[in-house]
Structure 1
């Protein structure tokens, strides 16, 4: 754990990135317009949904890091709709942004946005989720499979071999959702747990978590645990289990929020694999800054998750606030 914390803190202090978006030097703070005057560089951040706390944490990292270089950031909320995200991309390009940071609504639809930006000559950095194909400057992501495996192993250690478990997953059209599911299955296999069912979310909100948890415990009355792929739906699942009086079902999470922290402390959530969304946003912004300056940019950066349980919550809390829980 000490080593993990040291890696997290070292990562947060990194200033530059290496290898990828080289070319002629281009100022990041001001650029000449057609009349010869200078205007501040502008970047668009296309986020899936600001209703989801995770994306607000990413936004904070993006906007705060760009501000350090006096770069204006315009954030577009795509309302979890691929068509809206495409329209947002078109609007941003029409308004002549200098670069785009995108957290795709899904991996398939991201391809069209990348194609549009490439045609317009606008560099794109992808922050989380990933794309099925296309050209981009950098991809900043989480090791979702390893994170899923870590929380799966923890749940496996808390239950007897052969116990049935289920998942409330991200849409499996998202690469990160597939990796979390596969990782969790690998983790629970270490003690012979059985994944009997999963439900795919579309809106990734509390209501979905509550509804799907109710469905799962009804269909599978012997469930020993439910793994939910996102923080807000996790709390919906907690509510459903409490209403049903199912204190015997463990809840495992991915991502973090103040509510998740409180729920881990009081035992309503067994643990979570916490991503580092603030840090992901900062890395994405730094990739843009380096690209616009003509510096080389590392093509892919993968950040670890931090396993958080009732046994280590006090030890890791300060780090969580720094890399995962700051949205303003």
Structure 2
């Protein structure tokens, strides 16, 4: 795969999303979900709307680069990489239903456009299509044994993701929970899918078990770091850059890491304000401004990136014994991008 040498985070992202891996994925998505899709096939129409235009494609790019990092051919596992994008998009569709979000990637979300019942079914179908896509790698010469192992890994990641989602719902409105409980939640909800894409890429490429495990660990720590970064976006990055509304977490009462850290460090009055803001479930401009001020006063916005840095350090350590290659450089580059203060 193509090496990406730029170090500026914005330049790196530009290079990554125009890399050979990204082009392979976008071309394959366009072929699989053409604009000429029969409009009578409503399910396919919904899927195309959800999938295209594609986002950053970080997860399927990670799969292709993980395969290449252990000597595999990205083209041989392209169907599986698409499948993991289907699964990721399915989780976004379902998240928008759960959170009642109306916008996704700068336009009306699937549930708003097509209605809740069809959005639920479309998300479910994308999950099944993800498993089917892995089996398509038989045609490129991937062994049945590797395909079976990859499917098992994906199933385990899917179960973890669901456990994480349920745990997140249990934590709503309670900023006094232990940070370790929150970190376990995001390890399940977000880290599991990152873990799966990297591990499956290595498995389908025929890597030895030790390398598969290294890349799985790399992906999990990267995913945790990504989620913490996502927690911070509402407070550190303009919405037009972040690609998400700064009001979502507050309106839904989510106890993200900055909130937990603020509660830990806050005095009695600050803690009371945090609890009231989370449980009031309002996210107008004044409420958001006051909430942001609370996070700054308690030092939470400075402490949260320390957790990002720790998980990124662990992710990088997993790459240290892999043979140097352009793909390993890309995997390392993604960790540098994830620690940047601005995207």
Relative to the length of structure 1, the TM-score reads 0.30
User: Which is strand-richer, 1 or 2?
Assistant: 1
Relative to the length of structure 2, the TM-score reads 0.29
